[in-house]
Amino acid sequence: MQQNQNVMKIKKNIAISDSGFVFNPSSGESFSVNPIGMEIMELLKKEMPTQDISNHILENYETDAPTIDKDLYDFITMLKQYGLIDDNEKD
Amino acid sequence: MEKQRYERPVIKKLESNMPNKFGMRTEYKPMTHIDNVAVKDMIDEHGSPLFVISEKTIRNNIRNARKAFETRYPKVQFAWSYKTNYLDAVCRTFHQEGSWAEVVSGFEYDKAIHNGVDGTKIIFNGPDKTEEDLEKAIKNSSLIHIDHLDELYTIRKLAENMDTRAQVAIRVNMDTGIYPMWDRFGFNYENGQAWDALNKIMRSDVMDLVGLHTHIGTFMLSSNAYAVAANKLADLAIGIRDKYGHEIQYIDMGGGFASQNNLKGAYLPGVDTNPSINDFAEAITSALINSNFKPDKLPLLILETGRALIDDAAFLLGTVISNKRLSDGRRSTIIDIGVNVLFTSFWYDHKITPAQPFTQHTEDTVVYGPLCMNIDVIRENISLPLLNKGDHVVIHTVGAYNMTQWMQFITLRPRIVMIDLESNVHVVRDRETLDRLLEFENVPEHLKTFEL
């Protein structure tokens, strides 16, 4: 998976609350994210490469690599679709 | 360190405008057990998908229905509508609860006889009764509900050559103020067809007019229509009494009572809006009691309720095959339950509950079946908790028509189990196998071999 080698970066101005509430001040849109999604967004904010995020989930959750690979790709696609990922800052 | 339960990551845009077609989240608790039996255990033992019937719910439903009518009217008889679900185990549960049999074909008639129902307690409806069927029904003194004049003449001809008089009623169709009006079955009340048929029967010396029957529609959302229908049948019965001095024995109000299912396009859930069995009972019995029948001459009231007694007594268990993302961003989930076994998904927005714990997070989802056919959609819009591949789901209120209208198409039909009152699980219909299907086929000699 090509994006797995990449570092996806959440836009700097995106606010993520502890309860999973996500706010994009530039569009005024808000989102809700589940705990694992929030964890992934926090890791993306720290610029962790997606492959490392996959490994992190695999270590901490009852699941397998193909499931994470598929779900992470889908989640990042949704983040992009909602305009929460800064494409310009991509490595 | 123990690993945490995995839930796929999901982000959902919060909308503060009009509600969308996916609606609100409806599932709050997983359905891990049915009548104290674990869903997972049943799937492990009997495979997925799997129909599960609750004997307890069937018995509760028929007892509640009887109570609703018997507390309002002195003489009530239920007849189990075979076409709604003619599994022997289901039919016999109803027969144990005192229901007669209501059949609409020779095949169903034979099934009722096979189940041990006395011929005099079989109501024979429907437009297609062969001479052979009719001869059998006349001989057994079954209650033949005549659908058209050709049938009436056939019965007369057959009975003239038999020792037994035919026990007949006519099916009457009528305007009860609802749309669509069902006028394809039976004889019309308003245009005089019904009276014409009744006169022919009364003037025949080989037929006994024992009752009057109507069946005004299906999944009726108005109980008042039944009051109109009961009034019109009472009017006919009083007319026969006045004209011929003949008292009919029963009025059969048919079926068509709505279950608690959610009809497609309905704005509110069926469980909140559909009339209850008490509403239907009140409408019908009030109309009959307030008619011109003398209090000591009230006819037996027969009800052929099917759907409302069996729908919520069955569940369909299934498994998630995959989660996909559609081109417009909607989530789609593929389960192993197709429209070939869940025929009623064309009519209803069936309630779907996960069979394992889940969080409060949901996604707007389209639920597809496993068939490689575009029409195989189980739910077009549902706000569904997050399901992983291999997770199990429970589809509710599937007891009516699915186990009779299902078809072997692309996949084989699954097993059906029934949970008894002591929570024992019984296989009441086995799954289909390729060998079983091939028994019906025959390959001509010249097609038996080929080279590729």
- Partner B contacted by A32 (CB < 8 A): yes
**pLDDT value at position A91?**
42
**Three-state DSSP string of B100-123:** EEEECCHHHHHHHHHCCCCHHHEE
Report domain extents, chain A: 2-89
Tell me which residue of B292, B209, B200 sits closest to B246, measured CA to CA: B209
**Which residue in A32, A57, A63 is closest to B12 by CB distance?**
A32
Tell me which residue of B129, B127, B203, B122 sits closest to B167, measured CA to CA: B122
Q: How far is B70 from chain A (nearest CA, A)?
A: 53
We find that the CATH architecture of domain B55-311 is: Alpha-Beta Barrel (3.20)
Residue A29: DSSP 8-state: E
The chain A residue lying nearest B331, using CA atoms, is A74
Q: In terms of C-beta density within 10 A (0-12 exposed, 13-18 middle, 19 or more buried), how is residue B59 classed?
A: middle
The string of pLDDT tens digits covering residues B192-205 is 999 999 999 999 99
Q: Provide the residue-wise pLDDT of chain B in tens; the chain has 452 residues.
A: 788 889 999 999 887 665 666 666 677 899 999 999 999 999 999 999 999 999 999 999 999 999 999 999 999 999 999 999 999 999 999 999 999 999 999 999 999 999 999 999 999 999 999 999 999 999 999 999 999 999 999 999 999 999 999 999 999 999 998 888 888 999 999 999 999 999 999 999 999 999 999 999 888 888 999 999 999 999 999 999 999 999 999 999 999 998 888 888 877 778 888 899 999 999 999 999 999 999 999 999 999 999 999 999 999 999 999 999 998 888 999 999 999 999 999 999 999 999 999 988 889 999 999 999 999 999 999 999 999 999 999 999 999 999 999 999 999 999 999 999 999 999 999 999 999 999 999 999 999 999 99
- Partner B contacted by A60 (CB < 8 A): yes
pTM as predicted: 0.91
CATH class of B33-53+314-432: mainly beta
Instruction: Give me B243's structure tokens.
Output: 């004209």
Three-class SS state of A83 = coil
Q: How far is B385 from chain A (nearest CA, A)?
A: 11
Q: How far is A55 from chain B (nearest CA, A)?
A: 13
Contacts of A67 in chain B (CB under 8 A): 6, 8, 388-389
Report domain extents, chain B: 33-53+314-432, 55-311
**Three-state DSSP string of chain B:** CCCEECCCCCEEECCCCCCCCCCCCCCCCCCCEECCEEHHHHHHHHCCCEEEEEHHHHHHHHHHHHHHHHCCCCCEEEEEEHHHCCCHHHHHHHHHCCCEEEECCHHHHHHHHHCCCCHHHEEECCCCCCHHHHHHHHHCCCEEEECCHHHHHHHHHHHHCCCCCEEEEEEEECCCCCCCCCCCCCEECCCCHHHHHHHHHHCCCCEEEEEEEECCCCCECCCHHHHHHHHHHHHHHHHHHHHHCCCCCEEECCCCECCCCCECCCCCCHHHHCCCHHHHHHHHHHHHHCCCCCHHHCCEEEECCCHHHHHHHEEEEEEEEEEEECCCCCEEEEECCCCCCCHHHHCECCCEEECCCCCCCEEEEEEECCCCCCCCEEEEEEEEECCCCCCEEEECCCCCCHHHHCCCECECCCCEEEECCCCCEEEEECCCCHHHHHCCCCCCHHHCCCCC
Same topology, domains B33-53+314-432 and B55-311? Answer is no
**Three-state DSSP string of B225-264:** HHHHHHHHHHHHHHHHHHHHCCCCCEEECCCCECCCCCEC
- Partner B contacted by A58 (CB < 8 A): no
**Which residue in A22, A34, A60 is closest to B9 by CB distance?**
A34
Tell me which residue of B330, B302, B345, B316 sits closest to B212, measured CA to CA: B302
Three-class SS state of A53 = helix
Q: How far is B264 from chain A (nearest CA, A)?
A: 29
Tell me which residue of A19, A35, A24, A37 sits closest to A78, measured CA to CA: A37
ipTM metric: 0.90
User: Which residue has tokens 């002195």?
Assistant: B74
**pLDDT value at position B19?**
62
Q: In terms of C-beta density within 10 A (0-12 exposed, 13-18 middle, 19 or more buried), how is residue B234 classed?
A: buried
Question: Interhelix angle for B131-139 vs B149-160, to 10°?
Answer: 60
Mutation choice for B interface testing from A24, A27, A32 by most B CBs within 10 A: A32
pLDDT confidence of A89, banded at 50, 70, 90?
very low
- Partner B contacted by A19 (CB < 8 A): no
